[in-house]
Structure 1
C-alpha cells in the first residue's frame, strides 16, 4: 500500500513539475501583442531597401486589410511619403494607450541569440515590422506590406507575423498566443525562404508536419504529442533552438 502511495505521489509531483516547466516555456515563447496604433511622440526608425536609414516622426500610416502599405513621415520639418514596397524594415513605438491596454498580456521573452541591430529598439518597447510579399489569407494577389513580427527575439528560422483581423477564441487565453479577450485564431508565418503562409487554427493540423517535423530533435520530442494551437509559440521556439544547435554542430 505504501509503495502504491509513493508511486502515485511521484507521478503527481512529476506532472506538477512538467506543468510548471511548460508554463515557464510559454512565458519564454510568448508572442508580442498585436498593435494597431502608433506613437506620435516617439520617432520611427526606417531602413529602406537600398540601405538608407531614416529617423523621423510619424504623421500617418496607410493600411490594407490591417497591414501597412505606406508611411507618412516628418523629417526636419519636411513631409515624406514612403511605400511599404521601398522599405526593408521599420521600428515603430505603439501609442501609450495601446501599449498600456495590452501590457498585461505581454511576457518578456528569453533572448538567446545575443545582441542584434534590433535589440536597442526592441528593448525600448518598439515594435518590429519587416517587408513581406504576401497573399492575404492565401487568397489575394501577392503584394508587399510591412508586417509586425510578433516573435522578434526568436525569429531566425521561423517568423510569425500578426494578423490584425484575426478572430479570437472566447474566454481568457493563456500561453504564447494570448491577446485581449482570447487567443488569436490566425497568424502569418514564414519559414526560412519559403513564401509567407496564412495559418489558421482550423488548418494547423494540415501544416504542422511541414512546419516542424523536418527536424529530428523536434520530431523525437513531439513524436507522441497531440499538438495544440495554444502552444504555437513553444513549437516555434523549440524548433528554432534545435535548428540553431544543428547549425552550430555542423560547423
Structure 2
C-alpha cells in the first residue's frame, strides 16, 4: 500500500510540475519566437537540374517541367532528363525524395513576403530564407486536413536539420494569423502559419493552431525534462518551430 501511495504522490507531483506556468525572460521569449523552419516552397526553376530519388534507389536528374497536385500537395512530377532531354513523369507513390531548385522569381516572392511584415524582421533572417538553393520533398502517406483517404504525396520537409524524432511538413494552403497595416503594404504582427503536417513515429497528422494544446502531450510528453521547462500553459503556437528543435535537442542528450 505504501508503494502505491508513493507512486500516486509522485504521479501527482509530476503532473503538477507540468501544469505549472514558467516565466521566461524577454531574451528567452525572443529566441522562442524565432522561426527555425525552412520557408515555404516558392516555385521551381526550369533552368537548373532537379533530382528525383525513387524508392528503388535509382536517381533521375532533369529540368523541372510540371507538377500535379491535390490541395497543393504534389502527387506527380514531370522533368526533362538532363542528358537525353527525354520527358519523364513520376508518380509520388514511386518517389522517395525530390529536390527542386528555387526559381529566381520564387526567391523574389519570398523576399517580398519577408519585407511586408515587420514581425519577420524580428523572427526570421532574410539570408536564411534565400540562401538555400533547393527545396527538399519527402514521400509521405497522409490524409489531407485529416478528412480524406490516405494518399502518397511529396511533401516539403521544413525541419531537415532537426527531423530525427518529429518531422514537420509544409501546408501550402495554411492560413496565417491576422495583423494590421502599419505603413502602406507593410503589416504589423500576424503572419504566423496556422497549420502544418506533423509526423512522429508512424503517425502523421494535420496540426492546426487550434489543436496545438490537444496534441502537445503526444508531441512532447515523453520527455519529462522538456515538459517541465516548457509546459503547455507557458508556451504559444508561435513558438512551435523552436519547441520542435529544442525537444529534439533535449531528447538526444
Give TM-score, length-normalised by structure 2.
0.76
**Structure 2 counterparts to residues 1-251 of structure 1, below 5 A:** 18-27=25-34, 29-75=35-81, 76-103=84-111, 104=114, 106-107=124-125, 124-171=132-179, 182-191=191-200, 193-223=201-231, 225-245=233-253
2:12 corresponds to which residue? none
2:198/2:205 contact within 8 Å kept? yes
**Distance in 1 between residues matched to 2:221 and 2:193, nearest whole Å:** 23
RMSD (Å), alpha carbons = 2.5
Aligned residues: 210
- 123-132 vs 53-62, greater mean Cα deviation: 123-132
CA distance in 2, matches of 1:51, 1:67: 23
Asked whether the 8 Å contact 2:197–2:207 carries over to 1, the reply is yes
> Structure 1 residues 74, 36: CA separation in 2 closer, same or farther (over 3 Å shift)?
same
Residue-by-residue CA offset, 1:13-45 (whole Å, 9 max, x unaligned): xx9x93224424544x52111125211111111
C-alpha deviations, 1:123-178, integer Å up to 9, x for none? 74211110000000111000000000111111111111111111111127xxxxxx
- For 1:197-220, what per-residue CA distance to the aligned partner results, in whole angstroms no more than 9, with x for missing partners? 100011111101111121122112
Structure 2: runs of 5 or more not aligned: 1-22, 115-119, 181-188
Q: Could you report, residue by residue, the CA deviation over 1:76-103 in whole angstroms, capped at 9, with x for unpaired residues? A: 2101010011000111112212222224
**Alpha-carbon separation, structure 2, partners of 1:69 and 1:94:** 19
Q: Unaligned regions of 5+ residues in structure 1, if any?
A: 1-14, 111-121, 173-179, 246-251
Query: 1:3 maps to which residue?
Result: none
1:65 to 1:36, Cα distance in 2 relative to 1, 3 A: farther
